[in-house]
Amino acid sequence: MTSRAFDNARVWRLGADVDTDALAPGAYMKHGLEVIGWHCLEAVRSDFASGVREGDVIVAGANFGIGSSREQAAGVLRHLGLAAVIAPSYSGLYFRNAFNLGLLLLTCPEADKIEEGERMGVTFEGDTPLVIRANGQRLACAPIPEFLMDMVDAGGLLPLLKQRKPA
């Protein structure tokens, strides 16, 4: 379990209802994740794409990832090196896509307490993730079923299918 934990992650705060068009704008959907990454979130947070670094986290309001089934909206965050997204709720379709691509989503009812720029960590107690804030405050998140964590550990469904492929 410890391999899933991380600390000292820098927080990017976003509002509620971040949609898939903001994460992966349609005009760039014909390109790969690198190009989509340059434009990720440009409609809602123009400093994100140029400023994001490996190991950062997004902390957002409710309903993160509403809209399209385009999984590039989840893939682009892995491509940019995000360690996790933390929000009170997600679009169900986005939730499935994220785990299928190995992106960790934490459902945290108290995500709104986490502040922009803060350094935070995540630890696991069994299948229950806990956010550890810079001030030591611990915020409980919804448990994540083991079969979804397996995908995070493997880096997504494709590597998992490869591992499980009969030789």
Partner 1 sequence: MMTSPSRPQTLAQKLIARAAGRSHVAVGEVVTCHVDLAMFHDSSGPRRLKPMLDELGAEIWDKNKVVLVLDHYVPAQDADAKQIVQIARDTAKQWQLPHVIDSEGICHVVLPERGHLKPGMFCVGGDSHSPTGGAFGCYMFGIGATEMLGVCVTGQIWVQVPRTLRMHWSGRLQHGVSAKDMMLHMVGRFGMNGGQYQAVEFAGPAVRALSMAERMTLSNMSAEMGAQAGLIAADETTLQHLRGIGVAPEHLAGAEQWFTDEEAECEQQDFDASTLSPQVAAPHSPANTRDVSEFADVVPNIAYIGACTGAKLEDLRAAASVLKGQRVAAGVQLMVAPASAREQAHATQEGVMQTLLDAGATVLPNSCGACAGYGATFPEGSTVISTTARNFKGRMGPASVNVYLASPFTVAASALRGRISDAREVLA
Residues that bind partner 1 (CB under 8 A): 17, 19, 21-22, 25-27, 29-31, 43-44, 62-63, 66-71, 74, 89, 91-93, 95-97, 100-101, 145, 147, 156-158, 161-162, 165
Tokens found for residue 161 = 């299918």
Q: Which is nearer to partner 1, 136 or 145 (CB)?
A: 145
- Min CB(38)–partner 1 separation in Å: 15
- Min CB(121)–partner 1 separation in Å: 28
Residues 27 and 44: their CA atoms lie apart, in Å, by: 16
Residues 72 and 95: their CA atoms lie apart, in Å, by: 13
- Min CB(4)–partner 1 separation in Å: 20
Q: Which is nearer to partner 1, 59 or 74 (CB)?
A: 74
Q: Which is nearer to partner 1, 75 or 122 (CB)?
A: 75
Q: What are phi and psi of 156, to 5 degrees?
A: 125, 175
- Min CB(165)–partner 1 separation in Å: 7
Q: Which is nearer to partner 1, 79 or 133 (CB)?
A: 79
- Min CB(66)–partner 1 separation in Å: 5
Evaluate whether 57 touches 85 at the Cβ level (below 8 Å).
Answer: yes
Q: What angle do CA 157, 51, 138 make, to 5 degrees?
A: 65
Residues 3 and 71: their CA atoms lie apart, in Å, by: 25
Exposed/middle/buried for 120, CB within 10 Å: 0-12, 13-18, 19+? Answer: buried
